[in-house]
Structure 1
């Protein structure tokens, strides 16, 4: 029972991180109808900025407090991500209002390569480390219940708790605040929202800024775990099966989908992997998403689209 619970907890912790990235996809899609293929690049760009700002601020100011340096770097990176959100709305989305979905998708693909190239030019292409002080030593839990206890990574546990808190905060923001209600109105009908005085462009800047904030936190967590490198974009793309599973328009779906994907890939790797030679964790999420596309394309909590002619 102990090994099973270790695997289960590991899957839940990984799933919360997937949910955090998936929220960026869902928020932007709900507010603008754009499937943001650039979310992975935003995670990478934010992580690169955070790592380099921490280094530059530490050297430039001589501050010895790592916490203060990280806070200043976080603030500077968030300002940068808001600037990126403004630029995307001003120079890309603002020019493509009411265009076809495929046009907007191609625009986000272009944003992906721009952010990756800009990140490499401005911040460099080396592997950087983000140290936010999360403990890395594993701990044993429930030693009195299970023989030997359950081994849990403290870093994964703290990361999952941070991701869970942020996911809950974003869900509450979207559901209960005036800005969140305006975002939902824009998602339902752009023209109707504009007709009652909701400024579409300001809403788009806000939602891309919120997605940038989620990308920044995800980038810090993954950068702390894996180092800041260009493979982070591949990690972020693991959120694609999550939004397919949960539904492109559902915030709760992003949470449930992330947990299901995280648990599913860990358990399949642990119990089915040895029979198939391993490697299931790499492709399990995509096969699961393909199955849902065949059976329930809108996902578990997505809205079923009915075209009337």
Structure 2
């Protein structure tokens, strides 16, 4: 029983990180109706920026405190993502207002390629490490209930808490604030939103800024766990099953989808791996996503689109 609970907790922790990645896609889709393939590149660029700024700040400012250097690096990376969001709207999205979804999709692919190249040019292509002091030693809980206790990774636990707080704040932003409600209106119909006075360009800047915040937090966590390397840009592919399961328009769906994928991967690898073969953790999420596409393409919490003629 203790082993099962360990696997379950590990899957839930991983699921929260998947949810954090999928959240960036949901944000952009809710505001523009397009799947943002640049989200993975944004995570990579934010992680690269924070890792390199954390190295450069002590050299230029003579700081001895690693904590202060990390705080400043995070703030600079966040500011860079804000400026990037403004430039994307100013130079790309402004000229694509009311265009087809396919046009916007291709635009995000172009943005992704540009961001990956720019990141390599400015920050280098080596493997970097983000050291933010997250404890890596495991905790052993419920020692009195289970022999040997239940092992929980402290780093995964802290990352899951950060992800949960961020998801909660974003859910409140979309439900309770004027800007959040305006973004939902823009997602439903660009032209109708403009006709009632909602400034589409400003809304896109806001949502890309919010997506930049999510990318910075995601890059910090994943960079701390796995190191910052250009394979981090492929993290977008890990989020595809998450948003397919949860629904492209639902923030709670991103959470549930991430948790299902995280737990499903761990459980299938441990219990089905010895029967089917190793490596099931790699393709399990995509098979599950395919099943949902066949029987419930809008996902668990997504809105079913009905076209009337």
Q: Structure 2-normalised TM-score?
A: 0.98
**Helix, strand or coil: the match of 2:230?**
coil
Cα shift readout 1:269-302 (whole Å, capped 9, x = no counterpart): 1111122221111111111111100011111111
Match of 1:227 in 2: 227
Deviation at 1:180, TM superposition (A): 0.9
Contact 1:24 1:215 in 2 (8 A): yes
Trace 1:256-271 onto structure 2 (pairs within 5 A).
256-271=256-271
Match of 1:136 in 2: 136
Q: Structure 1-normalised TM-score?
A: 0.98
Question: Does 1:152 find its partner at 2:152?
Answer: yes
Question: Does 1:272 find its partner at 2:307?
Answer: no
Cα shift readout 1:174-233 (whole Å, capped 9, x = no counterpart): 111121111112112222222222211011011001011101101000000000001112
Contact 2:22 2:254 in 1 (8 A): yes
Unaligned residue ranges in structure 2 (runs of 5+): none
Question: Does 1:307 find its partner at 2:300?
Answer: no
**Helix, strand or coil: the match of 1:158?**
helix
Match of 1:247 in 2: 247
**Alpha-carbon separation, structure 1, partners of 2:194 and 2:68:** 42
**Alpha-carbon separation, structure 1, partners of 2:204 and 2:168:** 21
**Alpha-carbon separation, structure 2, partners of 1:5 and 1:26:** 30
Trace 1:67-146 onto structure 2 (pairs within 5 A).
67-146=67-146
**Alpha-carbon separation, structure 1, partners of 2:287 and 2:95:** 36
4+ aligned runs moved over 6 Å, structure 1: none
Contact 1:18 1:236 in 2 (8 A): no
Question: Does 1:180 find its partner at 2:180?
Answer: yes
Contact 2:98 2:191 in 1 (8 A): no
**Helix, strand or coil: the match of 2:140?**
strand
Contact 1:245 1:289 in 2 (8 A): yes
**Alpha-carbon separation, structure 1, partners of 2:107 and 2:167:** 27
**Alpha-carbon separation, structure 2, partners of 1:111 and 1:164:** 28
**Alpha-carbon separation, structure 1, partners of 2:235 and 2:24:** 14
Match of 2:13 in 1: 13
RMSD across aligned C-alpha pairs, in angstroms? 1.0
Match of 2:164 in 1: 164
Contact 2:138 2:153 in 1 (8 A): yes
Match of 1:29 in 2: 29
Unaligned residue ranges in structure 1 (runs of 5+): none
Cα shift readout 1:228-249 (whole Å, capped 9, x = no counterpart): 0011122332111100111111
**Helix, strand or coil: the match of 1:42?**
helix
**Helix, strand or coil: the match of 2:31?**
helix
Cα shift readout 1:158-183 (whole Å, capped 9, x = no counterpart): 11111111111111111111211111
